[in-house]
Structure 1
């Protein structure tokens, strides 16, 4: 069987074109910093990359959720600390009011301060987060958690969450 000059020429041209294609692919891999450019480069490796990418996305979402919950818990803790401080101040005032040497203007002043503490605690119980959701409203976080009705008498604050 005879091999013609054209066949040798064609074979060499195919070889040069194949080498140029391989060189272009290698340059693309180097430029992108990725070994797998298309799934056909390494199907098993491409599947692993997809799984790892999904896991990274899940971990990123978990981290975001963790950050949101941590921030929310820190805000709730700060509000509860403020409520505790206000209640302790009210307790101190009540003990002071039990002192027999106080006259009526002093007792009225203590009563007015206790009323302000009640309103402060009410406002703290209706604290909202950055998204406008009420912290202590339960699953109905869009609604105000507690309502104040001074006309209701002794039970003026009711849970509405």
Structure 2
């Protein structure tokens, strides 16, 4: 397998980059896959953790960092992109920005009670099917529904 390389943003600002990296946080217990969903800070919609690229960091590691900041997840990311979904991000000063989010699986090893955005979001374990019904983005719903780490021969 090809090793993922870090991204270098040299001169690019958050407002210039419209690609984000998202974490599909999961665990397998008694052969059942559960995904960890969080609420957005503004509208309280169910989403997956996601954020902007970080200079010198791989996309998968960026997704894992967002999982930590937004959901208190300590886990191992998989370098393989599960898929891409599109959405509009509300940027106060710029209006709605069209964004593409690349999704990476993060196997959850521990959940912290104290993390950067604790108290700003809810988090909840749920089935892939339920999570797929609760998200607004059709492509993300498909990624959630189709995800099965047991069948991917990777980080299960």
| Fold match (TM-score > 0.5) | no
Q: Which has the higher helix share?
A: 1
Q: TM-score, normalised by structure 2?
A: 0.18
Q: Which has the higher contact order (CA 8 A, sep 6+)?
A: 2
Q: Which structure is larger by alpha-carbon Rg, 1 or 2?
A: 1
Between structures 1 and 2, the one with greater strand share: 2
- TM-score by structure 1 length? 0.17
